[in-house]
Structure 1
Amino acid sequence: MLASPSEPSSEELLARILTSLDDDKAEDVVQIDLRGKTAIGDYMVIASGRSTRQVSSMADKLVERLKQDFGRLSRVEGKDAGDWVLIDTGDVIVHIFRPDVREFYQLEKMWQPAAPAN
C-alpha cells in the first residue's frame, strides 16, 4: 500500500525528522528501530540540545516542519520546561534532551540490543 502525500511512510517521516534535527544542530542523534519490539511506533529518535532554549526551539521547528511537509500533527510533552521534550508523531517517537538529563535517563540503553556476553 502506498502512502499518500498526507500520510508519509514511517521511513519518510524518520528521514524528515533526522534532517530537521541536523538542520538545527542537534547533537548525538541516535535512531532506534522499534519494529517488532513494541507497538508504540516504528522508530525512536533521541537527540541532545545544548540548552533549554535550543531543545525547545528544535522541538518547535520539528513540529512545524512535519505539519507543513506532511500535514502531520504531533503530540508534544515537556516543551515548556525544555529539559526533555517528547514529540509523538505516531510512527516515530522523538526525544530531545539537554545532555545531563539524557545521561540521567539513558533511554538508549533501554531500547538498544544488549552487547553479547563474553
Structure 2
Amino acid sequence: MVAPSPSPHTPEPDTVEALHRLVLTSLDDDQALDTISIPLEGKSSIADHMVIASGRSTRQVASMAQKLSERIKAEFGRTARVEGLPAADWVLIDAGDVIVHLFRPEVRSFYNLERMWAFGDAPPVANA
C-alpha cells in the first residue's frame, strides 16, 4: 500500500521544523535578545510557529531581518515577505509556516505580542 502524498498546500512537517530551526539558529547567530517561540499549530491557521525577538537598535533589527530573509531564500528557495524594514522598529517576516516579529525592546514592550498570543495551556517557549 502506497502512502498518500501530502496536498500541495500542506507543508511537510520536516520542512516546517527545519524552517523553524533555521529561524531560531539565525537569530541566535545574530545575537537577538529574548527570543521566544509560540507554537500555533492547531490554534491558528496563519502559521505553525510565531517567533518573537528583539534587537538592541534599529540597525541590528534590520540586519537580523535581512540576513534571515537571505538564509531562508538560500536554504529553502522561497522568498519571505518582509515588512517594516525601512523604520526597523518592528519588522515582520512572513516565511509561510513561521512568522517572525523583530522589535526594538521599547516597541516590543509596548505591543506585548507574547501576552496577546499566549494560550492558557501553552506558554511561549523561551530560547537562549
TM over 0.5: yes
Q: Distance in 1 between matches of 2:96 and 2:63?
A: 21
Q: Distance in 2 between matches of 1:108 and 1:59?
A: 19
CA drift of 1:113 comes to 2.1
The answer to whether 1:92 aligns with 2:89 is: no
Q: Distance in 2 between matches of 1:36 and 1:108?
A: 18
1:52-99 per-position Cα deviation (integer Å, ceiling 9, x unaligned): 000000000000011011112100000000100000000000000000
For the aligned residues, what is the CA RMSD? Answer: 1.6
- 4+ residue segments displaced more than 6 Å: none
Aligned match of 2:63 in 57, 67, 72? 57
1:20-43 per-position Cα deviation (integer Å, ceiling 9, x unaligned): 000000000000000111110000
Aligned match of 2:37 in 31, 46, 52? 31
Q: Which residue of 1 aligns with 2:53?
A: 47
Identical amino acids, percent of aligned pairs = 62
Answer with 1 or 2: which has the greater Rg: 2
- TM-score normalised by length of structure 2: 0.82
Which segments of 5 or more consecutive residues in structure 2 lack a partner in the other structure?
7-11, 122-128
Q: Which residue of 2 aligns with 1:101?
A: 107
Aligned length: 111
- TM-score normalised by length of structure 1: 0.89
Aligned match of 1:74 in 63, 69, 80? 80
Q: Distance in 1 between matches of 2:26 and 2:75?
A: 11
Deviates more, 1:66-75 or 1:82-91: 66-75
